[in-house]
Chains A and B, each alone.
Chain A
């Protein structure tokens, strides 16, 4: 077997890098462990707490006159950052910090002060709201809520204050006459009703405005993601349970509202990631984003505004966790991966950094996904970021993400599926680095600039019984700059921006199929030798303009236009995507959203299907989407929502699918591979969902989807491969005393389409007849229905100042035999009296017990 060109990281080097990275992370974590988190101070003398902060690097000077032995810290500081902890520790004693002339912090007596501590929630769902700007009017004090919805102010002079809450540039409410008393924390809670009324005000740090967008969207907070029973802490796993989302069994790739699984735009801290999945050759079972680095996930199923583009079905916009939200470091161990993370501050707290690494060798997962046990996948990913506030209006952050996968057959075993009998190996590496500058201009505008660079290397090679030889080496380089602006003028919120990327790729592909198995109508007529060497390069440019404006008192409209163009395709494709969203506040907590728009999806430079002989880029696909969403908030925080949607897709890029064994490791050599080239597609659906809390400790959710996803092929409507007629999902989370929690999620959907296989009598040239397997009409039968119940039981323990989280996941708890697909077949009695076909159906995930432990300090 020939070896492909070495990528950025050879496997050994990759393993070494991973080891080194994890070692450094662990070392750094251990080194900061001595620093102790915020909770270590509670119940200890103030002087001791100050000494700990001195150990953590703060230069503190004080005397026994103001800090005497009788002073005990009674409250656990809310902030994890040393400088802020110091303020919190001193606050109850009427002390404050003054900067020494030559540097250092002096502890002196201060005037009587109090502070405000609060929680901001969505009034409809009771979910905590991240990114709400809290302004104490007339003081210059502005803070922002974290992913847990919480905020706290600096110590304030005693008195009465007016607190203003803003989101996305709009004031969403005020609390007046909030009394701040000396050495006390005044606690407030504010529930934001949605949609918020329009306002001309703009906040100093609201760059995005998810709260009052006419376009529907949903989000998951860090706390929600952390409680989900997720396979290997997959950050995208939670969305598989969202209404309108499906995925192939064993795959983390998401199919939104009947679209294909490559139609979802995935952003991490503002940067688009290309196919961010581990174990790609096993179907992409895990995303490269560890759920534990996620602060917030914003999910949009179609109908998204024009600042998002390039994909046509959905958007998942992930914001990584803010350094310091969850202790100073953590170590985690589970049955699928090992993980370490550390974080800290610099420049007296103006800057913060976070580094997180994960190593995985999910052999258990391979077993449970019923992949061949001969395969030995390994992966790692590493994410780091640093952020610094340059001044009151500017914030600079730098991010780095690298991932690596090595997926191979063992030396002693061979793959033994129907069509894959041989050796296989793949390596995938990706590296992204990007720098973001957030800037507020005056009081009415803000901008975000992102400079990015990325490189992706993919290698596959495999052989099969000396009949097939594949060697596939690809690489992609990206260099991009994008800028987004928000401008408030005369009641309008304008969003304008552009994204420019310089792209290049290399494809070095060769395959030899010497003696293909022949099926009538679906396989090559003879031996196939394919060699393609391509080096496309060029640019892509996107420009958008969006105007959100109030129409009367109860309607908000959003009108946007997006222009996309790519030169690397060689054809100069240009697309224009107009979109419109309307939000009508019906009163009594009811909202009606209407959306319409064009969504174009150009082939990425890395998506050329060279393995199937395609050497030119296709036209950008176009989806015209329309939807109506009605939501209502009822008593007891019960929220119900219904959505009707329709998607018409034209200029569809032909795709290649295997009728049998879709997860073949060398799919292009599968003899049942077919080219699917619909003239158009039609997708329609109805989504009904409800959620709500029951008391303080129980929250539940559920939804039902009726959908139809069809392709127009040869003047007939054919179900798409991921079509699910009926889908029901429901779950609940129950929190118990002593840190116990139970999360349950279950669902059922109609079986997916499959192509029938039968026997046909075929006459040979010699006049003799024989029975040969043949395929019936595409996707004309259905696999059995799919059922699954996942359970997580977890407990969080506080041990001294650290936190230990232990969980056990029971995935597919009922061990339902779900059929993934047909992976093979055999002909029974071909010359006997009762000939027939025996299908070998590949089961999906069988019952999987996964356990993990994490220690946060």
Chain B
């Protein structure tokens, strides 16, 4: 009888230990959650930020309901067609950062090539980590081809036939019916049945806001505030000016700790600068961000 009891107690202990181990396995950070490897050569990229509904669709089937929804972390393979209703940010295997505007559809052809069938895409060939892409990205749109040359640019298919390419940084090569055209920083190319034109384009402004809205936040922990500001103004096409000459150097010394869950590029400035005892002012006329020291807080009367 006692032996039976001991056996039963032993089984219960083992059961308890098993429960604890299972709980610990899933509770321990990083355990039990498989990491996605973006280095798989077959993978085009993965979703890093979802700003609204998006799906992998089969173009032969019209209803969107039959499509597979895209979520953060979803991997995309060549052959897939992505359709967005909201905005979407992808991290490509090549190292590019790709953002899709609302109402966009792209068909992925190869790990470094896709076809823009509708809407607009924004390409940044410098990843948030600062690394350069390993391959040239090729975008086909309405029978033309666009190749990046270390740039930030937007490609938009307008009215199904007209293509607009805007370059904010670096340059791109546009291959059309009339040959190859190099589009540089601050230029905007229009290609349609009527011909091709290149005109000056703003580097910042409302037309670029959708890109900022879907820009994934960088990892702030351990980064200097100067590094953060440089990243911010680049993403927004702004210019950075420190009002105090010594502040630029000081900003390079101020190190940030922690991360801001749920922070966005747009809202991060108001959150981060006060933690550094800094303030800012944005001048839209020349798209310049002025950074200065914060005014000391005043006592509040009880």
B-binding residues in A (CB < 8 A) = 12, 15-16, 19-20, 23-24, 27, 31, 47, 50-51, 54, 59-67, 98, 100-104, 106-112, 138-139, 156-161, 180, 182, 411
The reply to whether the CB of B201 lies closer than 8 angstroms to some CB of chain A is no
| Given A109-B277, A112-B299, also A61-B267 (CB < 8 A) | no
Judging by beta carbons under 8 Å apart, are A67 and B259 in contact? no
Judging by beta carbons under 8 Å apart, are B261 and A109 in contact? no
Among B16, B263, B278, B302, the residue within 8 A (CB) of A161 is B302
Q: From residue 264 to 293 of chain B, which have CB atoms closer than 8 A to chain A?
A: 264, 267, 270-272, 274-278
Which residues of A are found within 8 Å of B277, using beta-carbon distances?
A: 65-66, 108-109
- Cα distance A66–B271 when bound, in Å? 14
Please give the distance in Å from B25's CB to the nearest CB on chain A.
13
Among A16, A27, A63, A182, the residue within 8 A (CB) of B225 is A63
- Cα distance A31–B28 when bound, in Å? 10
- Cα distance A358–B5 when bound, in Å? 21
- Cα distance A27–B9 when bound, in Å? 19
The reply to whether the CB of B294 lies closer than 8 angstroms to some CB of chain A is yes
Please give the distance in Å from B187's CB to the nearest CB on chain A.
35
Among A50, A112, A157, A158, the residue within 8 A (CB) of B257 is A50
Please give the distance in Å from B85's CB to the nearest CB on chain A.
22
| Given A67-B257, A102-B262, A157-B302, also A61-B275 (CB < 8 A) | yes
Judging by beta carbons under 8 Å apart, are B276 and A66 in contact? yes
Judging by beta carbons under 8 Å apart, are B20 and A23 in contact? yes
Judging by beta carbons under 8 Å apart, are A15 and B271 in contact? no
Among A98, A104, A160, max chain B CB count under 10 A is at A104
Judging by beta carbons under 8 Å apart, are B302 and A156 in contact? yes
Judging by beta carbons under 8 Å apart, are B302 and A139 in contact? yes
Judging by beta carbons under 8 Å apart, are B254 and A101 in contact? no
Among A12, A107, A108, A139, the residue within 8 A (CB) of B8 is A12
A to B CB contacts below 8 Å, 27 in the list: A12-B8, A12-B12, A15-B9, A19-B13, A19-B16, A50-B257, A61-B220, A61-B256, A61-B272, A64-B257, A65-B278, A103-B261, A104-B259, A104-B261, A106-B274, A107-B275, A109-B274, A111-B299, A139-B302, A156-B302, A157-B300, A157-B302, A158-B299, A159-B301, A161-B302, A182-B299, A411-B2
Q: Number of B residues contacting the other chain (C-beta, 8 Å)?
A: 46
The reply to whether the CB of B255 lies closer than 8 angstroms to some CB of chain A is yes
Q: Mark B243-260, 1 if CB is under 8 A from A, else 0.
A: 000000000011111111
Q: From residue 9 to 35 of chain B, which have CB atoms closer than 8 A to chain A?
A: 9, 12-13, 15-17, 19-20, 23-24, 27
The reply to whether the CB of B1 lies closer than 8 angstroms to some CB of chain A is yes
The reply to whether the CB of B62 lies closer than 8 angstroms to some CB of chain A is no
Judging by beta carbons under 8 Å apart, are B297 and A20 in contact? no
Which residues of B are found within 8 Å of A106, using beta-carbon distances?
A: 271, 274-275
Q: Give the nearest-CB partner of A23 in chain B.
A: B16
Among B2, B8, B12, B15, max chain A CB count under 10 A is at B12
Please give the distance in Å from B32's CB to the nearest CB on chain A.
16
Judging by beta carbons under 8 Å apart, are B274 and A27 in contact? no
Which residues of B are found within 8 Å of A19, using beta-carbon distances?
A: 9, 12-13, 16
- Cα distance A357–B2 when bound, in Å? 26
The reply to whether the CB of B298 lies closer than 8 angstroms to some CB of chain A is yes
A-binding residues in B (CB < 8 A) = 1-2, 5, 8-9, 12-13, 15-17, 19-20, 23-24, 27, 220, 225, 253-264, 267, 270-272, 274-278, 294, 296-302
Judging by beta carbons under 8 Å apart, are B9 and A101 in contact? no
Among B13, B220, B262, the residue within 8 A (CB) of A103 is B262
Q: Give the nearest-CB partner of B296 in chain A.
A: A109
Which residues of A are found within 8 Å of B257, using beta-carbon distances?
A: 47, 50-51, 60-64, 67
- Cα distance A111–B298 when bound, in Å? 5
- Cα distance A20–B262 when bound, in Å? 38
Judging by beta carbons under 8 Å apart, are A109 and B12 in contact? no
Please give the distance in Å from B144's CB to the nearest CB on chain A.
39
| Given A23-B16, A23-B20, A61-B275, also A111-B300 (CB < 8 A) | yes
Judging by beta carbons under 8 Å apart, are A16 and B12 in contact? yes
A-B pairs, top 6 by smallest CB distance, nearest first, are A102-B262, A159-B302, A16-B12, A61-B258, A157-B300, A111-B297
- Cα distance A411–B4 when bound, in Å? 14
Which residues of A are found within 8 Å of B5, using beta-carbon distances?
A: 12
Tell me how many residue pairs across A and B have CB atoms closer than 8 Å: 134
- Cα distance A160–B259 when bound, in Å? 38
- Cα distance A102–B9 when bound, in Å? 49
Judging by beta carbons under 8 Å apart, are A63 and B255 in contact? yes
Which residues of A are found within 8 Å of B271, using beta-carbon distances?
A: 61, 100-102, 106
Please give the distance in Å from B28's CB to the nearest CB on chain A.
10
Which residues of B are found within 8 Å of A16, using beta-carbon distances?
A: 8-9, 12, 15-16
Which residues of A are found within 8 Å of B296, using beta-carbon distances?
A: 109
Please give the distance in Å from A28's CB to the nearest CB on chain B.
9
Judging by beta carbons under 8 Å apart, are A24 and B275 in contact? no
Which residues of A are found within 8 Å of B261, using beta-carbon distances?
A: 59, 102-104
- Cα distance A610–B26 when bound, in Å? 52
Judging by beta carbons under 8 Å apart, are A20 and B15 in contact? yes
Judging by beta carbons under 8 Å apart, are A59 and B300 in contact? no
Judging by beta carbons under 8 Å apart, are B254 and A63 in contact? yes
- Cα distance A586–B22 when bound, in Å? 66
- Cα distance A100–B263 when bound, in Å? 8
- Cα distance A646–B289 when bound, in Å? 84
Q: Give the nearest-CB partner of A99 in chain B.
A: B271
Q: Give the nearest-CB partner of B2 in chain A.
A: A411
Which residues of B are found within 8 Å of A31, using beta-carbon distances?
A: 27
Judging by beta carbons under 8 Å apart, are B259 and A59 in contact? yes
- Cα distance A79–B291 when bound, in Å? 37
Which residues of A are found within 8 Å of B298, using beta-carbon distances?
A: 111
Judging by beta carbons under 8 Å apart, are B302 and A60 in contact? no
Which residues of B are found within 8 Å of A63, using beta-carbon distances?
A: 225, 254-257, 272, 275-276
Judging by beta carbons under 8 Å apart, are B1 and A411 in contact? yes
| Given A16-B12, A19-B9, A65-B254, also A157-B263 (CB < 8 A) | no
Which residues of B are found within 8 Å of A104, using beta-carbon distances?
A: 258-263
Q: Other than the known A59-B258, A102-B260, A158-B299, what 14 A-B pairs have Cβ atoms closer than 8 Å?
A: A12-B8, A16-B12, A19-B13, A23-B17, A63-B254, A63-B257, A65-B277, A66-B277, A102-B271, A106-B274, A108-B274, A112-B297, A161-B302, A411-B2
- Cα distance A47–B1 when bound, in Å? 59
Which residues of A are found within 8 Å of B13, using beta-carbon distances?
A: 19
| Given A100-B263, A103-B261, A104-B261, also A64-B255 (CB < 8 A) | yes
Among B9, B19, B257, max chain A CB count under 10 A is at B257
- Cα distance A50–B258 when bound, in Å? 10
Judging by beta carbons under 8 Å apart, are A160 and B225 in contact? no
Which residues of B are found within 8 Å of A157, using beta-carbon distances?
A: 299-302
| Given A98-B274, A111-B297, also A20-B12 (CB < 8 A) | yes
Which residues of A are found within 8 Å of B301, using beta-carbon distances?
A: 157, 159
- Cα distance A31–B24 when bound, in Å? 9
Which residues of B are found within 8 Å of A411, using beta-carbon distances?
A: 1-2
Judging by beta carbons under 8 Å apart, are B302 and A109 in contact? no
Please give the distance in Å from A361's CB to the nearest CB on chain B.
13
- Cα distance A24–B267 when bound, in Å? 42
Judging by beta carbons under 8 Å apart, are B16 and A20 in contact? yes
Please give the distance in Å from A435's CB to the nearest CB on chain B.
26
- Cα distance A98–B277 when bound, in Å? 13
Among A63, A67, A102, max chain B CB count under 10 A is at A63
Judging by beta carbons under 8 Å apart, are A102 and B267 in contact? yes
- Cα distance A98–B261 when bound, in Å? 14
Please give the distance in Å from B231's CB to the nearest CB on chain A.
16
Q: Give the nearest-CB partner of A20 in chain B.
A: B16
Q: Give the nearest-CB partner of A13 in chain B.
A: B12
Judging by beta carbons under 8 Å apart, are A109 and B294 in contact? yes
